[in-house]
Amino acid sequence: MSRLPPEYDPDDDEDRDEAAVPGLPPLADPLREAKMQVARAVARRRRAALTALKD
């Protein structure tokens, strides 16, 4: 017994995925990537500051 609504059509999901930005993987999220870059930069600065304090 399926819990999906009767009007659900799995082909709609495929069409939506194909309509994504061409040339990018379907799971690419530019905002998430930007946040990760910022987090890495903050971590580098924090490590550098801690290293400077130890010296």
| Cβ 33 vs Cβ 27: under 8 Å | no
Predicted confidence at residue 27, as pLDDT, reads 59
Predicted confidence at residue 55, as pLDDT, reads 77
| Cβ 12 vs Cβ 18: under 8 Å | no
CA distances from 51 to 2, 37, 38, 40, 54 (A): 57, 21, 20, 16, 5
Global pTM exceeds 0.75 = no
SS3 content of the chain, % helix, strand, coil (to 5): 60, 0, 40
Domain boundaries in the chain? 29-55
Provide mean pLDDT across the span 8-33. Answer: 64
Residues 35-48: tens digit of each pLDDT = 999 999 999 999 99
